[in-house]
Amino acid sequence: MQQPSDPPCRRCPCRSGRCGLTLVELLVVIAIIGALVGLLLPAVQRGRESVRSATCQNQLRQIALGFQAHHEAQRMYPTGGNEYWTPPNFSGGGPATGTQQDASWAYQILPYIEETAAWSPAGSDDLARQTAAIAATIPGYFCPSRRGPQTVTYSDPYYMEGRELTHGLLDYAASNFTGDGIMVQSGSDRRAPPRRATEVADGLSKTLFVGDKRLNLALLGEPQQDDNEGYTAGWDEDTVRRTDLPPEPDYRGDDDGGELFGSSHVAGFNAAFGDGSVRGLSYTIDPSVFSSLGTIRDGRVVPEF
């Protein structure tokens, strides 16, 4: 005996009695889903940037601790190195230290941030060790909001006799080019002796040591004026920036970062201070306050920033 079929849905306008979405209803559902996704994506992006910024701050904190450990071991902060064309120098088979080291602060603190293998690489001679040190990529030297570890390969007639070399790069810079900050130039013609904590008269918590540096994003991965010699470069825009000019965000264009601090973070850039603290500084920070943060003894009372 044939079973009776299910009764038709009384709310269904179609004759068959089968329920379904009309084209208009389907378009409405798609529009609602699109609107929800549009609302969700910015929140997801903000969450990801928050994580990236926190990672950047942690890396800068480790760098600040490296400065402190260097000071404890060497009784001086690392110097800004000699010149951009002076590679890491070795003495007796090991890296020179203190004022005898021509490479940057970023190279000098390597043994104090658990990167001894890059600081003193294996090699048959000093040239091999220099080449390996220059090419090293230090993961903690790259801001995740901008890029992962990166190198450039090129030759410079003034650097290492024009050899084609791979250079490990760097997203952070020390303060500052004006010579009145924590950085001094090393070498026989250095302008001042290396800095010590007792010389930071303005207070370690009010003295900017290292921060994000501004770069031209359009030229990442290509040799540009301030992103070519890399993390070992002595007294160069690659490793030292200035605070007498206000910070600016990364950009895309034809020039370099202009010796400025800055970053790919939206609201500002991260900076590590002499006491080991790390703070986010706005791009709209008072220029006079920012200039004072880059000096060690201008005597000015710096307001909250």
Among the listed residues 57, 37, 121, 22, the one whose alpha carbon sits nearest the alpha carbon of residue 269: 57
pLDDT in tens, 170-190: 999 999 999 999 999 987 566
Q: Which two tokens stand for residue 101?
A: 């080291």
Q: What is the pLDDT of residue 300?
A: 83
Res 304: pLDDT: 75
The low-confidence residues of the chain, meaning pLDDT below 50, are 1, 9
Task: Return the pLDDT at 45.
Answer: 65
pLDDT value of position 305: 74
Q: What is the pLDDT of residue 188?
A: 56
pLDDT value, residue 33: 83
Q: Beta partners for 271? A: 211, 279
Give the predicted TM-score (pTM) of the model: 0.85
Q: What are phi and psi of 45, to 5 degrees?
A: -65, -40
* Percentage of residues in the chain having pLDDT higher than 90: 75
